[in-house]
Chain A
């Protein structure tokens, strides 16, 4: 099943310049899809359209097979969770416990069930010791983990990360990516759209979409996308480290087979 299907999607903020032009793509259920591109490439515009924050676009977008419109938005939204980049813009509670509870309250979860759910996701996000902490006493990374715990507690079918890990330190980031992986194992139908600047994260996704100037310029598996090193460089995007290392090694005369698609595989090959 296609969780997201965009057909010829265009959007303009001012009626003159197109922030998105003629986008068509599909994301299958259970996919980890990384969306990469410049600042100003249209990534965040797309995220806003998907979450129903802006309307008035041309073309059509379907989520869970339902065409997104002002009428269907409220059917779709409960199944969709978004985590934004800046934790300060999404912390609504006066404590960690309250913040996670906020979403549950909106979803009419019974009070007696709430504590267990809050504890479960706070523990998964590594915030169980800070349940009573106030947001001003948390660091940015901690706040973001609370935000992610709050969204995951909604058990969404589609999770959108709008650069959700860009403010976290490597350990915090790894914890979130591990947590996300665990969620996907427990719920193989969970679809994730991760808007990210982290090329190494994108290299580990199932599907990569590359936006530039509102156009979809590349899409496919990481291996397919990252073979286009020169095209990526033209739009000022880096290739993953392993791709650059293979290129550098080949220029020194080392023969590397074409089927190597990760740093681990490259290291294994070099040590044969």
Chain B
């Protein structure tokens, strides 16, 4: 399901003293099945943008089109069953573990399907499948979600979204507050889901993760889409004007190039590539 934003403007608290324009005439096309990173400083409009994807927000002006669904400012144009969009687009908020509420892990994950009218048995079966996907085995089913570790809680919360088998998975800062190992596990999980042909939209401040996983990067700035490109394209020029930090890999290459090295940033994908390039460079010096 490709996603299209057409001249989307969103204003919070319209016609009040707190009126605030979070999105300004955003045009954006996102292809199906891609791993997309959505980046930009705090307050640049990322969270507002993703809430349009499953109709938690509707545009103040403009249309968002996803498959046959139209989320429009115009009530007549807006799809009637817009809530069905939420089966297709799963949104994992920041700190999703705070939304756990059931007595057992199994019930918590099955809540989504049950809420969409699936039978109890089917919901439980879907819950088991998605818990397997996130790497939690049957020993977790009857445990209280509240006695789990932070990383496990987050997996349960993500499983709750995956239980509806969404075609587009939107995740907002999924690694925040996780230790590096749990963060890596979480990212590998999204990579696995992406391999199954799903679209992943990842909101993150961590450019190291972006350079590792994303196929396409959308840079937001001041309520607008500032740039779209591959990670190598985005990181081959300065990005500090967006308050983004260059991944250490590219920053180091850039620093060394300023001091006389001739490292080709577009060929560097990991620390080994960088070390090889530096070793080569030293021979030539």
Contacts and interface: CB of A to CB of B under 8 A. Distances in A.
Interface of B: 12-13, 18, 20, 41-43, 47, 94-95, 149-151, 173, 176-183, 205, 207, 243-245, 248-249, 252, 255-256, 259-261, 271-272, 274-276, 278-279, 282
A170 B180 contact: no
A54 interface: no
Given A167-B173, A237-B179, A40 B149 contact: yes
A267 B256 contact: yes
Given A244-B271, A270-B261, 4 more contacts: A137-B13, A172-B41, A241-B248, A248-B275
9 contacts: A38-B179, A85-B177, A140-B42, A171-B243, A197-B178, A199-B180, A238-B180, A241-B271, A270-B261
Contacts of A134: 18
A267 B249 CA distance: 12
A236 B248 contact: no
B252 A169 contact: no
Contacts of A177: none
A253 interface: yes
Contacts of A244: 271
Nearest to A170: B245
A243 to B, nearest CB: 11
Interface string A132-153: 0010010111100000000000
A254 B278 contact: yes
A82 to B, nearest CB: 16
B157 to A, nearest CB: 14
A166 B261 CA distance: 34
Interface of A: 37-41, 85-86, 134, 137, 139-142, 163, 166-172, 197, 199-200, 236-238, 241, 244-245, 248-249, 251-254, 263, 267, 270-271
Contacts of B271: 241, 244-245, 248
Nearest to B12: A137
A86 B150 CA distance: 13
B76 to A, nearest CB: 31
A186 B7 CA distance: 49
Contact of A142 (B20, B42, B95, B274): B42
A185 to B, nearest CB: 24
Contact of A271 (B94, B180, B244, B259): B259
Nearest to B280: A252
Top 6 closest pairs, chain A to chain B, by CB: A141-B42, A236-B181, A248-B275, A171-B243, A170-B245, A252-B279
A169 B275 contact: no
A245 B274 contact: yes
Contacts of A171: 41-42, 243
A139 B12 CA distance: 13
Contacts of A200: 248
Contact of A251 (B42, B260, B275): B275
Contacts of A263: 248, 252
B278 A249 contact: yes
Contacts of A41: 179
Contacts of A271: 256, 259-261
Given A140-B42, A169-B243, A39 B182 contact: yes
A137 B278 contact: no
A19 B178 CA distance: 18
Contacts of B248: 200, 241, 263
B282 A270 contact: yes
A87 to B, nearest CB: 11
Contact of B42 (A85, A168, A252): A168
Contact of B149 (A39, A168, A199, A241): A39
Nearest to B249: A241
A138 to B, nearest CB: 9
A71 B249 CA distance: 51
Given A140-B94, A271-B256, A170 B205 contact: yes
Nearest to A144: B42
Contact of A245 (B207, B252, B260): B252
B244 A86 contact: no
B177 A252 contact: no
Given A252-B275, A252-B279, A254-B282, A167 B180 contact: no
B42 A197 contact: no
A252 to B, nearest CB: 4
Nearest to A253: B279
